[in-house]
Amino acid sequence: MEPVTVYSQYAWLIPVFPLVSFIVLTAFGRGMRSAGMLIGMLGSLAALVLSVLVLLERMTNGDSPEYNYSFDWITIGDFQLNAGYDVTNLSALMLFVVSVVAFLVNLYSAGYLKEDERITVFFGYVALFTFSMLGLVLSDNLLTLYMFWELVGVCSFLLVGFWYTKPEARAAAKKAFIVTRVGDVGLLIAVLLLFWYMPEHDLSFAAIENVFGQTGTIAQGITTLIAILIFVGAAGKSGQFPLHVWLPDAMEGPTPISALIHAATMVAAGVFLVARTYSIFEASQAAMDTVAYVGAFTALFAATIGLVQNDIKRILAYSTVSQLGYMMLALGVGSLSGGIFHLFTHAFFKALLFLGAGSVIHAVHTQNIHEMGGLGRQMKITAWTFGIGALALTGIPPFSGFWSKDAILAVALDKNPFLFAVGILTAFFTALYMARLYFLVFAGKSGAAGKAHESPAVMTIPLVVLAAFAALSGFVELPWAGMGRLGAWLTGEEAAHSGSGLVLVVSTAIGLLGIYLGWLIYVKGAIPRDFISSRAPWLVRLLERKYYIDELYHAVFTVGLRASGRALDAFDTYIVGGAVRLISGAAVWAGRAGTRMQNGQVQTYGLWTVIGLLALILAIAGRRFW
């Protein structure tokens, strides 16, 4: 079939638009305010328009060949490292998600950060991030992806630390960069392995799919190793246990950033990466199981922590970690379409929830949910849209999260009932913590934070748009035969829907149960709030302290590194430096001794002459006897 590439071949322009914005803002942004915002928005709007055109093109020609362009980046002897982009259905979808959220966040930030004196710097960073993220999803090979992968990490770092004078922001930015870098080393080694094991050292995703799609080309052990290393990288970016610790702290960044980077796009890059190299995972059952179990564990683990946090953004952050766990679970049990579907819906409803939280914070100037309350009457748009997002996240039909979560749970039930049970339990906790959050913030009496006003239109319009997506985006894939359009479009075949009727009912019931329980506790007061904490204070404490993971890492890594640093430093000063001083000291001593001999006394000279002569005679004479 003749490829239809009217817009696809210009896809490289999509990341270029925000890049231009970034360059302009960096070079000339000083002193700009509204002009700077406009430049940032124009860049992301242009990217959005072209992304939509590319997506439409791929949707109408879903099975036409993909457009690919690549060039030699470095040529060394017979080896080549390429850079390039290709427009697949998956990347077209991701382009759309990224540019929609990026544009809406740009718009929202114009209101949210209106007072900030460094607003053009902010828009510049956001533009750089948008460029990098779009580049990441367009990359046609693992090395190019790795480069953008690092760039989005840096942008995340810059934006988390945007309010750089706060020591917490500095610490969080540093932590975000370093923890994800741990994962990146895994990915880096995977790249090295692939380079030397792939035929013709080809790192392109197309070649990877070819080679790993057929068994036997690359040994099983190496395949598993590569897959696990890629997953280590993905776990770092996507906040999977045990590399999840940076993501909640990253909430120190401005809230629009939490929505864009730490909810909708960058943190999903790990899921995207696994999906992009899925053939490697499919070739190794061990790797698939690792992904599934780590994902399931992370989902449950983070959801339990989310139950007891008091900071509105941190609850959402743990929720993000938990939902990313779902996506990994989906990929691990073999459902590529389920994972991507949930990524797609989650991007909208979680961005919505964060922006809604931002709207609340903007109004009441606190992030503690216990200081809020009764905001539903004062901030109607925020409350309604947040409610839609919460229902989507909880998985109540017909909102989007319901359909995507159902797609995952259905496959899990099919493949591994234990993982299904974990998923259902997580769904219950999800419903409970969202109910707690929603009721404490929007229901009841006004809290300590007092009166609030609805945010300006520039902030509420993005909320409404995202709410529409959060409500409706689930309909792209329905669990009945013939209606799994997204899956069919992405993978070429529709996902199986065995036993999904049961799953639909169970997951809805569990979600409603969680909400009902939350209502009983936080609205009706039928169950006292300290029901658990009075009976098992250690449990609540354990959850509040996030299972002491941060403390553990601090004790092992930070303290350990500092101690070994001190030890090496002392070694450097006293042992290496000491040896040097000893040698130079010996030379000085010899020099001094020599000086002392030449004291101007003829007798001394005579004495030394005699001693020397004797030594010489002895040496010459002595030789005969040896």
**Interaction between residue 16 and other proteins (CB under 8 A):** no
Return the beta strands (E) in 446-519 as ranges.
none
| Nearest to other proteins of 224, 416 (CB atom) | 224
**Interaction between residue 31 and other proteins (CB under 8 A):** no
**Interaction between residue 169 and other proteins (CB under 8 A):** yes
Rounded Cα gap, residues 105 and 355, in angstroms:
8
Question: What track of x and - describes contact with other proteins for positions 466 through 485 (by CB under 8 A)?
Answer: --------------------
| Nearest to other proteins of 224, 319 (CB atom) | 224
Rounded Cα gap, residues 396 and 400, in angstroms:
8
Task: Take residue 89 and report the two structure tokens written for it.
Answer: 């259905």
Rounded Cα gap, residues 576 and 88, in angstroms:
57
Exactly one of 566, 597, 610, 614 binds other proteins (CB under 8 A); that residue is: 566
Q: How far is the CB of 101 from other proteins (least distance, A)?
A: 23
Question: What track of x and - describes contact with other proteins for positions 118 through 147 (by CB under 8 A)?
Answer: ----------------------------xx
Rounded Cα gap, residues 386 and 381, in angstroms:
8
| Nearest to other proteins of 108, 146 (CB atom) | 146
Each as own residue / partner, the long-range contacts of residues 116-121 (CB below 8 Å, 24 or more positions apart, any chain) are 118/162, 119/33, 119/36, 119/37, 120/25, 120/29, 120/30, 120/32, 120/33, 120/36, 120/37, 121/25, 121/29, 121/162
Query: For other proteins, which stretch binds (CB under 8 A), given 177-185, 213-221, 316-324, 594-602?
Result: 177-185
| Nearest to other proteins of 125, 386 (CB atom) | 125
Q: Is 32 within 8 Å of 151 (Cβ atoms)?
A: no
| Nearest to other proteins of 564, 604 (CB atom) | 564
Q: What is the DSSP string of 196-234?
A: HHSGGG--BHHHHHHHHHSTTSS-HHHHHHHHHHHHHHH
**Interaction between residue 451 and other proteins (CB under 8 A):** no
Report CA-CA distances (Å) from 121 to 32, 152, 316: 10, 16, 26
Q: How far is the CB of 244 from other proteins (least distance, A)?
A: 17
**Interaction between residue 502 and other proteins (CB under 8 A):** no
Exactly one of 579, 586, 597, 610 binds other proteins (CB under 8 A); that residue is: 579
Longest Cα–Cα distance of the chain, Å, equals 115
Q: How far is the CB of 85 from other proteins (least distance, A)?
A: 15
**Interaction between residue 615 and other proteins (CB under 8 A):** no
**Interaction between residue 577 and other proteins (CB under 8 A):** yes
Report CA-CA distances (Å) from 354 to 257, 315, 348, 412: 9, 10, 10, 29
Three-state SS at 438? helix
Q: Positive or negative, the Cα torsion across 41, 43, 49, 51?
A: negative
Q: How far is the CB of 371 from other proteins (least distance, A)?
A: 26
| Nearest to other proteins of 250, 302 (CB atom) | 250
Determine the distance from the C-alpha atom of residue 206 to the mean position of all C-alpha atoms in its chain, rounded to a whole number. Answer: 24
Rounded Cα gap, residues 602 and 182, in angstroms:
73
**Interaction between residue 77 and other proteins (CB under 8 A):** yes
Burial 336-366 (b: 16+ CB within 10 A, else e): bbbbbbbbbbbbbbbbbbbbbbbbbbbbbeb
Rounded Cα gap, residues 26 and 121, in angstroms:
7
**Interaction between residue 592 and other proteins (CB under 8 A):** no
Interaction with other proteins in 545-564: which residues (CB under 8 A)? 561-562, 564
**Interaction between residue 496 and other proteins (CB under 8 A):** no
Q: How far is the CB of 186 from other proteins (least distance, A)?
A: 9
Indicate the burial class of 511 (C-beta count within 10 angstroms; 0-12, 13-18, 19 or more): buried
| Nearest to other proteins of 180, 473 (CB atom) | 180
| Nearest to other proteins of 49, 154 (CB atom) | 154
**Interaction between residue 12 and other proteins (CB under 8 A):** no
| Nearest to other proteins of 527, 588 (CB atom) | 588
Three-state SS at 268? helix
Three-state SS at 139? strand
| Nearest to other proteins of 169, 441 (CB atom) | 169
**Interaction between residue 540 and other proteins (CB under 8 A):** no
Exactly one of 74, 614, 615, 617 binds other proteins (CB under 8 A); that residue is: 74
| Nearest to other proteins of 398, 577 (CB atom) | 577
Task: Take residue 429 and report the two structure tokens written for it.
Answer: 């906790």
Looking at the DSSP bridge assignments, the partners of residue 229 are: none
Listed residue (380, 368, 345) closest to 251, CA to CA:
368
Exactly one of 174, 368, 513, 549 binds other proteins (CB under 8 A); that residue is: 174
Which residue shows structure tokens 């001999």?
597
- DSSP letter at 175 equals H
Query: For other proteins, which stretch binds (CB under 8 A), given 306-314, 455-463, 577-585, 613-621?
Result: 577-585
| Nearest to other proteins of 66, 184 (CB atom) | 184
Which residue shows structure tokens 């909400």?
515
Exactly one of 12, 195, 293, 519 binds other proteins (CB under 8 A); that residue is: 195
Q: How far is the CB of 423 from other proteins (least distance, A)?
A: 33
- Tell me the number of residues near other proteins by CB under 8 A: 46
**Interaction between residue 193 and other proteins (CB under 8 A):** yes
Rounded Cα gap, residues 331 and 282, in angstroms:
10
Q: Is 99 within 8 Å of 42 (Cβ atoms)?
A: no
**Interaction between residue 57 and other proteins (CB under 8 A):** no
Binding site for other proteins (CB under 8 A): 72-77, 79, 146-148, 150-151, 154, 161, 164-165, 167, 169-170, 173-174, 177-178, 181-182, 184-185, 188-189, 192-193, 195-196, 561-562, 564-566, 568-569, 572, 576-577, 579-580, 584
